[in-house]
């Protein structure tokens, strides 16, 4: 999930090249609507900073209310954006990783595989922002 279409396209395309099935969302509302429509991702990849009332941490919590323990990757370019307590709380609710921008697609794909306990490419649905 990323509100910037170009960033979202690069991330989705790169993960698809790594063998993952990607479902894109342009915002938290869109990601939650996909869940309400029946999408069942194996992992959530989201940016921290988003327009509107819900940031990436809030999105992870909202998604995990519906899908407890869902693995999540939070990508951020600003080290001070998220309070350590908020990060710790999300980490305590399921598999979780924080990646700092700039981050390469190989790093995202590797972290994704690690969270899913996989060593090779796999088909994964990822609402990517």
Place of tokens 């990517």: 128
Q: What is the pLDDT of residues 14-61, one digit of tens each?
A: 999 999 999 999 889 999 999 999 999 999 999 998 888 899 999 999
Q: Quickly list DSSP for 20-76.
A: ---EE-SSHHHHHHHHHTT---S-EEEES--SSS--HHHHHHHHHHHSTT--EEEEE
Q: Which residues, listed in sequence order, are joined to residue 21 by a DSSP beta bridge?
A: none
The confidence score (pLDDT) of residue 96 equals: 93
> How far is it, in rounded angstroms, from Cα 32 to Cα 58?
11
Encoded tokens for 91: 């980490």
Count up the domains in the chain and report the number: 1
Cis peptide preceding 102, ω within 30 of 0: yes
pLDDT attached to residue 76: 87
Q: Which carries the bigger pLDDT value, residue 83 or residue 126?
A: 83
pLDDT of 42: 93
Domain CATH code at residue 24: 3.40.50.2300
| Structural domain that includes position 49 | 5-128
What pLDDT is stored for residue 121 in this prediction? 39
Query: Rounded to whole angstroms, how far apart are CA atoms 15 and 58?
Result: 24
Alpha-carbon distance of 72 to 23, in angstroms, equals: 14
The pLDDT, as a whole number, for residue 120 is: 46
For range 77-103, the mean pLDDT: 81
On average, the pLDDT of the chain sits at 85
> pTM score, two decimals?
0.84
* Residues in contact with 86: Cβ distance below 8 Å, sequence separation at least 6, in sequence order: 57
């Amino acid at each position: 999930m990323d509100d910037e279409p170009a960033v979202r396209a690069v991330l989705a395309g790169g993960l698809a090249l790594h063998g993952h099935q990607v479902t894109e969302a342009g915002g938290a509302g869109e990601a939650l609507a996909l869940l309400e429509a029946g999408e069942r991702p194996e992992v959530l990849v989201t940016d921290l900073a988003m327009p509107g009332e819900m940031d990436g941490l809030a999105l992870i919590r909202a998604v995990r209310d519906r899908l407890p323990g869902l693995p999540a990757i939070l990508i951020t370019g600003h080290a001070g954006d998220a309070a350590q307590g908020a990060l710790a709380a999300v980490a305590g609710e399921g598999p979780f990783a924080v990646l700092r921008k700039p981050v390469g697609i190989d790093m995202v794909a590797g972290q994704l595989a690690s969270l899913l306990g996989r060593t090779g490419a796999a088909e994964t649905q990822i609402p990517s922002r």
